[in-house]
A and B are shown apart, each in its own frame.
Chain A
Amino acid sequence: MTLPLPVERRRSPLAAVPDRPRARQLEASGISKSYGQRLVLDDVSLSVGAGEAVAIIGENGAGKSTLLRICAGLIRPDQGHVSVSGRVGFCPQEPGLFDLLSADEHLSLFAPALGLSREQALRDGHRLLGEFSFPIDEGTQCRRLSGGARQKVNLALALLGGACVLLLDEPYQGFDHGAYVSFWEHVARWTGEGLGVVIVTHLLEDAAHVDRVVEMAIPRQQGAKRA
């Protein structure tokens, strides 16, 4: 793992355990990205193994979400390479939902692309939403949902159809405490099933729930040395 001034920590239960060989689910190397004159990522690398949970932390503007979007294949990096061993489940920071469609309609919309029948997508989606204690009827239009409920739909859509690696950008925004606790129980379950999980977060206490924490810093402009 090489990131700008990376600070990698291991959660305490694994701290004394030597690295287990893990199949690489996601490998990003030498990623650089600028928006106009502003350098956002400078030669960043990230790898995630099967069954591994990695938290990415850092101040605003450090490029956490940009890195995640590049790993998901949503943004083209200026330099660098990303390889993923299977399907990516991506949960964006802003729920990418149609305001006038319901959770059920979103599940139906995603179904053909994932190779699922409508019935199967609704069954799997309802199970996922149930696990996150989705509070209301799945037929309610998304514009009438609370921020936390929208985020649960967002998360369920990221998980629908299965994935080998989950890229979650502050996935629990708006969650109440119970849902937040439940979310981390799910992360433990997903990693137990062999999924790689990358979570962008601002909460330092999340470090206790992951295998590794990667801290990103705002890169200095090219030509200047990093602090």
Chain B
Amino acid sequence: MRLRRILVPAQMTGRELVRRRFALGLLTALPLAFYGASATHNNSAVSTGGIAMAFSIAGASIFVALTARPVDQRLVLVGYRPYELLLARLLLLELFGIAIAGVFSIVMVFGTAPQHPWLLAAGVGLVALASVPFGLAVGALAPRELEGVLVLIGVVGVQLTLQPTQIIAKILPFWGSQQLLQRSVDNVSSTGIAFPAGLAYAAAMFVAAAFVMHRRAPLVRAAQAA
């Protein structure tokens, strides 16, 4: 019964997402375009394409969070707990993200032939893992879609333009992924704390989204849910 309170909202989020086929197509094409544009003349194409994948996954997460916001209070009022709704979206969007990451890893492994394909896959997977809580947090905090998308473009755009060694790059959410992706092709970059850093950032973003959702939740919930 408890699991149903997460699986049903996840299922409905999935149906909503699938019905936005055109938007999903554009979101998926975007990182492919970044990768394709830089693949032939730039040895950081893997890093560029992988990080640009955050546009797709975090973008989808922002839209899911903002679309659900007017309904969320009502759902909590009838008995859902805010964390159940958040976990449902996290679950569904991570599945979506991992699917995209899988396809994207294959494309880049065959397109670039990196020295360490598994590091490439790990870097792309970490982008997927971190993008969802990042998008959910931005979606929870942004007043409207425009502001949310601008934050996304700003953060991912800055991360794309910076070298991983720069201090600002290290405080942005996809630095760990950037390190892994870079290492997969150059054999030089350090991967020491890359994965834990990415996971820690993802966890922090999830906590931020949960905090905001909890703050917005109705003061009372249905008695039968208690």
Contact = CB atoms under 8 A, between A and B. Distances in A.
A108 B70 CA distance: 18
A190 to B, nearest CB: 18
Contacts of A74: 73, 77, 218-219
Ordered nearest first, which 4 A-B pairs have the shortest CB separation?
A: A113-B79, A73-B220, A73-B219, A100-B19
Contacts of A98: 12, 16, 67-68, 71
A109 interface: yes
A196 interface: no
Interface of A: 72-74, 76, 84, 86-88, 90, 92, 94, 96-101, 105, 108-115, 118, 141, 157, 160-161
Nearest to B71: A96
Q: Taking chain B's interface residues, is the majority helix, strand, or loop, or is none over half, making it mixed?
A: helix
Give the interface size bracket for B toward A.
20 to 34
A108 B80 CA distance: 13
Given A96-B73, A98-B71, A114-B224, A72 B16 contact: no
18 contacts: A74-B219, A86-B223, A92-B74, A96-B71, A96-B73, A96-B74, A98-B16, A98-B71, A101-B12, A108-B8, A109-B8, A109-B9, A113-B80, A114-B222, A118-B8, A157-B74, A161-B78, A161-B222
B5 interface: yes
A112 B1 contact: yes
A110 B223 contact: no
A76 to B, nearest CB: 6
Contacts of A101: 12, 15-16
B4 interface: yes
Q: Which residue, A90, A98, A101, has most C-beta atoms of chain B within 10 A?
A: A98
A73 B218 contact: yes
A90 B73 CA distance: 11
A94 B12 contact: no
Interface string B208-226: 0000000000111111110
B41 interface: no
Interface string B37-74: 00000000000000000000000000000011011011
B79 A76 contact: no
B199 interface: no
Contacts of B12: 98, 101, 105, 108-109
Nearest to A160: B78
B78 A113 contact: yes
Contacts of B4: 112
Given A74-B77, A113-B78, A115-B79, 19 more contacts: A72-B218, A73-B220, A74-B219, A76-B219, A84-B220, A87-B222, A87-B224, A96-B70, A96-B71, A98-B12, A98-B68, A100-B19, A100-B20, A109-B75, A110-B75, A112-B8, A112-B79, A112-B80, A161-B222
Contacts of B67: 98-99
Nearest to B16: A100
Contacts of B224: 87, 114-115, 161
Given A73-B77, A110-B75, A115 B225 contact: yes
A105 B15 contact: yes
Contacts of B8: 108-109, 111-112, 118
B72 to A, nearest CB: 9
Contacts of A113: 5, 75, 78-80, 222, 225
Interface in B3-27: 4-5, 8-9, 12, 15-16, 19-20
A68 to B, nearest CB: 12
Nearest to A71: B220
Question: Which one of A96, A160, A161 has the greatest number of beta carbons of chain B within 10 Å?
Answer: A96
A114 B224 CA distance: 7
